[in-house]
């Protein structure tokens, strides 16, 4: 899709990846609706965008797990005469052993929230001759990772939702894309996660690199994109020969468990 003149609703716009995506989208000529709970961060980003890429960029403060907030956002979108693109980027993550996980929070935010927001806004997207939904998943949406059971489950679910939705809308003007970064340098990762990744040699990307990859995916209309090597390979190996990845992760389990326990004692 050519983003010039398109209205893009971006959730998670106050976060590390969201801010970088917003800058890329605005540079490509899109008009943005920036959504998150933190109004101050949204207003700061809006001011930066308007200064660099003048356009009627909007902010909308909402807790998207709340039905009323999603309805208010729908009313706001209707006032704007609709949107062309919805990017479901907002998310949370917890690192810890199963006993320490808040499954409801992670599934509520990472899975149910984008599903319900998509359901709410789909009629607005369908009014446009050409529209796009992008769901931001994760490498852990294809590889179940120890210490991330809730997060992995939520992102596996999001990938399944995206695939079903894409196929359901395949004869309409609404395209559906799935975008999966690997570890990225943002506040979603606790100190324990950063330290564990360093010890295990897991690479972490900059938000700018991730945002550039997403922009390319949108411009090329690529259905699925996994960021980073060798993660792209591991995703495929895990799908076909999961036993190989079982063994590779079993070899790392002692380190993962040590950091997961550390993460719990820090909390
Ligand atoms: N960083 C990584 O390592 C990594 C790797 C793979 C995938 N991802 C995915 O990339 C996406 C962006 O993550 P990030 O790294 O940029 O994390 P981040 O910096 O923590 O940003 C998360 C964003 O989600 C928003 N959010 C969370 N709960 C919300 C709610 N209930 N209502 C509205 N907004 C909410 C936050 O805004 P407020 O707090 O202002 O509401 C914030 O803008 C997530 O879906 C994440 O799972 C990240």
pLDDT given at position 266: 67
Q: Is the pLDDT of residue 92 over 70?
A: yes
Q: Out of 53, 145, 151, 178, which one is annotated catalytic?
A: 151
Instruction: Report whether 94 contacts 101 (CB < 8 A).
Output: yes
Angle, helix 113-126 to helix 67-79, in steps of 10 degrees: 20
Pairing of strands 31-36, 85-88: unpaired
The whole-angstrom separation of Cα 27 and Cα 53 is 6
Ligand 1 center–CA 244 separation, angstroms:
31
pLDDT given at position 265: 73
* Within a domain: 1: no
* Within a domain: 2: no
Ligand 1 center–CA 183 separation, angstroms:
13
Query: Which residue puts its alpha carbon closest to atom 47 of ligand 1?
Result: 91
Query: Which residue puts its alpha carbon closest to atom 30 of ligand 1?
Result: 63
Q: What percent of the chain has pLDDT over 90?
A: 96
Total domains, the chain:
1
* pLDDT 10s digits, 52-72: 999 999 999 999 999 999 999
The whole-angstrom separation of Cα 260 and Cα 203 is 18
* Within a domain: 216: yes
* Within a domain: 211: yes
* Within a domain: 77: yes
Q: Is the pLDDT of residue 256 over 90?
A: yes
Q: Is the pLDDT of residue 137 over 80?
A: yes
* pLDDT 10s digits, 229-242: 988 999 999 999 99
Q: If you average pLDDT over residues 162-173, what whole number do you get?
A: 98
Clarify whether 151 is annotated catalytic. yes
Ligand 1 center–CA 160 separation, angstroms:
19
Ligand 1 center–CA 36 separation, angstroms:
9
Ligand 1 nearest-atom number relative to CA 204:
3
Burial of 236 from C-beta contacts in 10 A (0-12 / 13-18 / 19+): exposed
Task: Assign residue 204 the CATH number of its domain.
Answer: 3.40.50.720
pLDDT given at position 267: 64
Spatial strand order in the sheet of 31-36:
58-61, 31-36, 7-11, 85-88, 131-136, 174-180, 224-226
Query: Which residue puts its alpha carbon closest to atom 26 of ligand 1?
Result: 90
Ligand 1 nearest-atom number relative to CA 93:
47
* Within a domain: 171: yes
Instruction: Report whether 127 contacts 84 (CB < 8 A).
Output: no
The whole-angstrom separation of Cα 157 and Cα 13 is 22
* pLDDT 10s digits, 20-61: 999 999 999 999 999 999 999 999 999 999 999 999 999 999
State the residue for tokens 């540079």: 27
Computed on alpha carbons and rounded to an integer, the radius of gyration of the chain in Å comes to 18
* Within a domain: 68: yes
Q: Which domain holds residue 127?
A: 7-266
Query: Which residue puts its alpha carbon closest to atom 7 of ligand 1?
Result: 138
Ligand 1 contacts (CB < 6 A) are 11-18, 36-38, 41, 62-65, 89-93, 109, 136, 138, 181, 183-184, 186-189
């Amino acid at each position: 899709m050519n983003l010039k003149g398109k209205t893009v609703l971006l959730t998670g716009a106050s976060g590390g990846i969201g801010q970088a995506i917003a800058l890329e989208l605005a540079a490509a000529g899109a008009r943005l609706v920036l959504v998150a709970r933190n109004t101050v961060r949204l207003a700061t980003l809006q001011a930066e965008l308007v200064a660099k890429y003048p356009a009627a960029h909007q902010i909308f403060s909402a807790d998207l797990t709340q039905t009323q907030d999603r309805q208010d956002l729908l009313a706001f979108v209707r006032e704007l005469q609709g949107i062309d693109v919805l990017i479901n980027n907002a998310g949370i993550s917890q690192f810890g052993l199963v006993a320490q996980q808040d499954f409801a929070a992670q599934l509520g935010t990472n899975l149910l929230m984008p599903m319900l927001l998509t359901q709410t806004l789909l009629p607005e997207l369908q009014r446009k001759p050409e529209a796009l939904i992008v769901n931001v998943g994760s490498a852990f949406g294809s590889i179940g990772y120890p210490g991330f059971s809730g997060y992995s489950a939520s992102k596996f679910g999001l990938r399944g939702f995206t695939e079903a939705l894409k196929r359901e809308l395949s004869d309409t003007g609404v395209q559906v894309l799935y975008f999966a970064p690997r570890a990225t340098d943002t506040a979603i990762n606790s100190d324990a996660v950063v330290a564990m990744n360093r010890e295990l040699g897991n690479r972490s990307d900059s938000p700018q690199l991730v945002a550039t990859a997403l922009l390319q995916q949108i411009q090329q209309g690529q259905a699925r994109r996994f960021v980073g090597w060798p993660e792209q390979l591991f995703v495929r190996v895990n799908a076909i020969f999961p036993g190989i990845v079982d063994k590779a992760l079993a070899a790392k389990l002692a380190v993962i468990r040590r950091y997961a326990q550390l993460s719990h004692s820090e909390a």
